[in-house]
Amino acid sequence: MRFSHLFTKTKKEAPRDEVAKNAVLLVRGGFIDKVSAGVYTFLPLGVRVLKKIEAIIRFEMNTMGAQEILMPSLHPKENWEKTGRWESMDDLYKVTDTHGREFALGPTHEEIVVPLMREFISSYKDLPVAVYQFQNKFRMELRAKSGLLRGKEFLMKDMYSFHADEENLTAYYEAMKETYKRVFSALGISSRTYLTFASGGTFSKYSHEFQTVTDAGEDTIFLCESCAVAINKEIADEKKCPQCGRTDLREKRSIEVGNIFELKTKFSDPFGLSYKDEKGNLRPILMGCYGLGLSRLLGAVVEVSSDERGIIWPRSIAPFGAHLTALGIEKQNVKEKAEEIYKKLSEANIEVLYDDREASAGVKLQDADLIGIPRVIIISERTLSKGDVVEIKDRESAATEDVPIAEILRRFSSFAI
Amino acid sequence: MRFSHLFTKTKKEAPRDEVAKNAVLLVRGGFIDKVSAGVYTFLPLGVRVLKKIEAIIRFEMNTMGAQEILMPSLHPKENWEKTGRWESMDDLYKVTDTHGREFALGPTHEEIVVPLMREFISSYKDLPVAVYQFQNKFRMELRAKSGLLRGKEFLMKDMYSFHADEENLTAYYEAMKETYKRVFSALGISSRTYLTFASGGTFSKYSHEFQTVTDAGEDTIFLCESCAVAINKEIADEKKCPQCGRTDLREKRSIEVGNIFELKTKFSDPFGLSYKDEKGNLRPILMGCYGLGLSRLLGAVVEVSSDERGIIWPRSIAPFGAHLTALGIEKQNVKEKAEEIYKKLSEANIEVLYDDREASAGVKLQDADLIGIPRVIIISERTLSKGDVVEIKDRESAATEDVPIAEILRRFSSFAI
């Protein structure tokens, strides 16, 4: 894509109404736009990153045998009354139509997915089964000031699994922990993201969160470095690892980027979700649920992978595979060479952001740093004076390397889509 | 995908609470599930069709040079007060948080996109530009009884274009008419879908709808068969073609599947969206908007492309490229051959729904008809007795043909994804 075609522009100054680093950099880079506190528009660069995060998660959910569905945001009041959450959930947005019919705006989907599955599961032969969706959630956050980390409206992957017995639920739940670790690894945040013991509610001793360590986090965890697990401070009576019992844990600020929960029969019971076993006896279905916030993950990556110059995207979710910039594009030979390389990369299906603007070298290099695509291909009179070479700059280390033009395609071929 | 893995089941009986053909067939086939009047969940088969419709539309919007964004559903009251629509729009859902802050649930996005573009457009050099999104809309439909044709919550592609002058707007608007025709052609409904003159509001004489002729439609149009255009009865003072002036028009029921509108400065004015021209003079920006309802299109396709046995999907948006069914799968030789063909098609990246269930031939063939994938590959003892052949059945005509197994891949290669 040509930079000159992109309607967004980078901003030099931090927006006055944002304090969170993720929001500041994402707004400055042209990834998001603030509509209201906790409510954002995703701009073209942001949509590209979101879609890549979505593709990574979809692949892993499909690998777990889960089936993709899409549930609505308008939830009938009756469903939420059945679970008692119409009254008990404080941050529920409610709407009423002119006929007096009331709906909740879904902050989660147990109240929809359980009656749905009741239509299709009747026998042990129908189990286990898992469904998931990518869907917008609503939560009445009155003090939303953390950018994408805490939104009134946010994009989530939520998945629900259904099992005949506890053993089957537990096996799936454990496999899901590994799946989540693969997702965080693909997103480049695995070295800072810890399985964290959290409140289990009435049905289980613990649920599990995945917490990414960063000072921007709103949660506090006690981290056991020898087990590489943590416990949420909220539920920790003492500083003690729930796995190995050690007490020399480190207190860290962190962001909850995912959570998984053994719901067991908490939601099956109110909706009468049950199945007939091999002997024809009616038994309750056990459930697990598994959340991942896509917009929050995007914000979390920016919090942990950025510097004073801008964002440093992991390759896997960068908006483009390469950033091509032509310094001194007013010169005919520079422009011609840049256009030639842009064409060559595009024809090889490598996604390129091509900075074809007539702007100073300073502005163009600063924008490349801000936007944060991991590899920047620089063409200038200086590089051309060395023969048929370009400079390839690593965004993170700022190290540069002269690479023959004939070799560029090979260097970027793993970025081809 | 194996039919036995799909958690949905087909239903023999029409749901008691649905009257619209699209809802009856889509519920029976396991494409959608009703949550409440006008509120549906898309099930795995339905999600697959939606994604294909989305891909067709995305390709055409990108071809028009438009850039994909994603705007929120929570719209601050202030934005809607600025255009006067907070009060004037009857079907607007409104929510209030516990701090008394009010939001509209977006039924359309002019109130969000105009202030957004105001941040990025300042000069004639920034024009023209167009943005679009795939996003959920909310509209307070008090009598939703047409299945996917009229929802309280529905998926839409909405696009907005911005221009320096009327000539530029008109040229883009005319090009968009052709783009929409290409979309309807790709969806297999072009022969029944007509450009229809509709109310233009205060700023233009006409807007344009695209109306698909079907008795299930809630609109009435006067169709001029010689021009292949129509006029919405609502705005027609007389039965007269607005293009050629003929008066022998035919009255037809139809569904509005898309609409395009020259907004001109209707929304630029209240938000002060303007640009500096070549001479430095401030001038208002002219806008066009272009809607397509994805869930409604899905419903419309079912209304016009179905028979008493079920849905007949156009190839382009069928949930799978092929439906493979094994009759008498209890027999070892039938099962082995079916598994072999399933493996071969899958390895060639052809999307197959493989009915591997132990069920009667009658049930399996009825389900294939109901689900409506255009080509059904039938394997049975009878087909195998003829040598290494399968039967390929055309869903629409029910015509069958014996095809050598060696030739199947070639037959379906155009379905490869």
pLDDT at B144: 85
- C-alpha A363/C-alpha A3 separation (Å) is 13
Q: Is residue B36 part of a domain?
A: yes
- C-alpha A97/C-alpha A118 separation (Å) is 28
Nearest CA in chain B to A112: B35
> Which residues of B are less than 8 Å from A117 in CB distance?
7
- What is the number of alpha carbons within 13 Å of residue B341 lying toward its C-beta? 36
CATH code of the domain containing B401 = 3.40.50.800
Q: Is residue B292 part of a domain?
A: yes
Residues 6+ apart with CB under 8 A from B382: none
Q: B95–A97: do the CB atoms touch at under 8 Å?
A: no
Q: B120–A35: do the CB atoms touch at under 8 Å?
A: no
**Mean pLDDT, to the nearest integer, of B48-55?**
98
Q: Where among A258, A284, A307 does a domain terminate?
A: A307
- C-alpha B190/C-alpha A223 separation (Å) is 61
B295 with B343, same domain? no
- Nearest residue, CB atoms, A7 vs list B95, B112, B129: B129
CATH code of the domain containing A122 = 3.30.930.10
Q: Where among B307, B336, B361 does a domain terminate?
A: B307
Residues 6+ apart with CB under 8 A from B46: A70, B26, B31, B32, B298, B319
A122 with A195, same domain? yes
Q: A93–B95: do the CB atoms touch at under 8 Å?
A: yes
Cβ-Cβ contacts under 8 Å between A and B: the total is 127
Contact present, A200 and A181 (Cβ < 8 Å): no
**Mean pLDDT, to the nearest integer, of B120-145?**
95
Q: Is residue A52 part of a domain?
A: yes
Q: Is residue A15 part of a domain?
A: no
Sign of CA pseudo-dihedral A322, A327, A328, A331: negative
A86-111, pLDDT tens digit by residue? 999 999 999 998 889 999 999 999 99
B300 with B357, same domain? no
| Number of continuous H segments (helices) and E segments (strands) in chain B | 12, 23
- Model confidence at B123: pLDDT above 60: yes
Q: Give the residue, A33 or A406, on which the prediction is more confident.
A: A33
Nearest CA in chain A to B130: A7
Tell me the residue length of chain A.
Answer: 417
Q: Which two tokens stand for residue A220?
A: 């506090």
A81 with A224, same domain? yes
**Mean pLDDT, to the nearest integer, of B89-117?**
95
A218 with A69, same domain? yes
- C-alpha B21/C-alpha A78 separation (Å) is 27
A60-81, pLDDT tens digit by residue? 999 999 999 999 999 999 999 9
> Which regions of B233-345 does DSSP assign to beta strands (E)?
250-264, 274-276, 282-284, 286-293, 306-307, 310-311, 322-326
Q: How far is CA A361 from the centre of its chain?
A: 33
Q: Angle A21-29/A294-304 helices, nearest 10 degrees?
A: 100
DSSP letter for each residue of A129-141: EEEEEEEEEE---
The closest of B50, B155, B36 to A75, measured between CA atoms, is B36
**pLDDT over 90, % of chain A:** 91
**Bridge partners of residue A324, in order along the sequence:** A354, A377
Q: B40–A72: do the CB atoms touch at under 8 Å?
A: yes
Nearest CA in chain A to B33: A116
The closest of B188, B233, B235, B186 to B212, measured between CA atoms, is B188
Residues 6+ apart with CB under 8 A from A209: A195, A196, A198, A219, A232, A256, A258, A259
Check residue A15 and report its DSSP letter. Answer: P
User: What are the C-alpha distances in Å from A161 to residues A114, A117, B57?
Assistant: 10, 10, 33
**Bond into A242 cis (ω within 30):** no
Residues 6+ apart with CB under 8 A from B335: B326, B329
B139 with B285, same domain? yes
Best of A5, A10, A42, A74 to disrupt the B interface (most B CBs within 10 Å) is: A74
pLDDT at A202: 72
- Nearest residue, CB atoms, A70 vs list B8, B41, B95: B41
Q: Is residue B255 part of a domain?
A: yes
Best of B26, B69, B113, B162 to disrupt the A interface (most A CBs within 10 Å) is: B69
Contact present, B128 and B234 (Cβ < 8 Å): no
pLDDT category of residue A180 using cuts at 50, 70 and 90? very high
> Which regions of A139-228 does DSSP assign to beta strands (E)?
153-163, 193-199, 206-213, 219-224
A327 with A289, same domain? no
- C-alpha A308/C-alpha B173 separation (Å) is 44
B279 with B325, same domain? no
- Nearest residue, CB atoms, A142 vs list B8, B97, B129: B97
- Average pLDDT, rounded, for chain B: 95
Q: Which residue has the tokens 């922990």?
A: A177
**Bridge partners of residue B261, in order along the sequence:** B289
Q: A42–B120: do the CB atoms touch at under 8 Å?
A: no
Q: B47–A70: do the CB atoms touch at under 8 Å?
A: yes
Contact present, A284 and A374 (Cβ < 8 Å): no
pLDDT category of residue A415 using cuts at 50, 70 and 90? low
Backbone angles phi, psi at A228, to 5 degrees: 55, 40
**Mean pLDDT, to the nearest integer, of A233-260?**
94
Q: B70–A93: do the CB atoms touch at under 8 Å?
A: no
Number of domains in chain B: 2
| Number of continuous H segments (helices) and E segments (strands) in chain A | 12, 23
Q: B7–A126: do the CB atoms touch at under 8 Å?
A: yes
AA identity, residue B325: T
The closest of B153, B209, B183 to B53, measured between CA atoms, is B183
Contact present, B50 and B42 (Cβ < 8 Å): yes
Q: Is residue B288 part of a domain?
A: yes
Contact present, B74 and A153 (Cβ < 8 Å): yes
- C-alpha B25/C-alpha B142 separation (Å) is 23
A288 with A393, same domain? no
- C-alpha A18/C-alpha A254 separation (Å) is 19
**Mean pLDDT, to the nearest integer, of B104-112?**
98
A59 with A96, same domain? yes
- C-alpha B174/C-alpha B12 separation (Å) is 46
B235-259, pLDDT tens digit by residue? 998 899 999 999 999 999 999 999 9
> Which regions of B13-97 does DSSP assign to beta strands (E)?
32-36, 39-42, 67-68, 74-76, 93-96
**pLDDT over 90, % of chain B:** 91
Q: Pairing mode, if any, of strands A32-36 and A93-96?
A: unpaired
- Average pLDDT, rounded, for chain A: 95
DSSP letter for each residue of B276-287: E-TTS-EEEPEE
Q: B41–A116: do the CB atoms touch at under 8 Å?
A: yes
Q: Is residue A11 part of a domain?
A: no
Which three-class secondary structure state does DSSP give residue A352?
Answer: strand
Q: How close are the terminal C-alpha atoms of chain B, in Å? A: 14
B66 with B206, same domain? yes
B358-416, pLDDT tens digit by residue? 999 999 999 999 999 999 999 999 999 999 899 999 999 999 999 999 899 888 876 55
Q: Is residue A1 part of a domain?
A: no
pLDDT category of residue A118 using cuts at 50, 70 and 90? very high
**Mean pLDDT, to the nearest integer, of B226-238?**
93
Best of A5, A7, A73 to disrupt the B interface (most B CBs within 10 Å) is: A7
A105 with A150, same domain? yes
pLDDT at A200: 85
A120-144, pLDDT tens digit by residue? 999 999 999 999 999 999 999 888 8
pLDDT at B417: 52
Q: What is the number of other CB atoms lying within 10 angstroms of the CB of residue B82?
A: 18
pLDDT category of residue A416 using cuts at 50, 70 and 90? low
AA identity, residue A312: I
Q: Which two tokens stand for residue A4?
A: 């000159």
Q: Where among B253, B276, B307 does a domain terminate?
A: B307
Nearest CA in chain A to B132: A44
Q: B140–A76: do the CB atoms touch at under 8 Å?
A: no
pLDDT at A76: 98
Sign of CA pseudo-dihedral B298, B41, B376, B55: positive
User: Model-level pTM greater than 0.95?
Assistant: yes
The closest of A318, A329, A316 to A380, measured between CA atoms, is A329
Which residue range(s) make up the domain with A400?
320-415
The closest of B41, B132, B53, B7 to B302, measured between CA atoms, is B53
Sheet order of strands, A400-404 included: A352-355, A322-326, A375-379, A389-394, A400-404
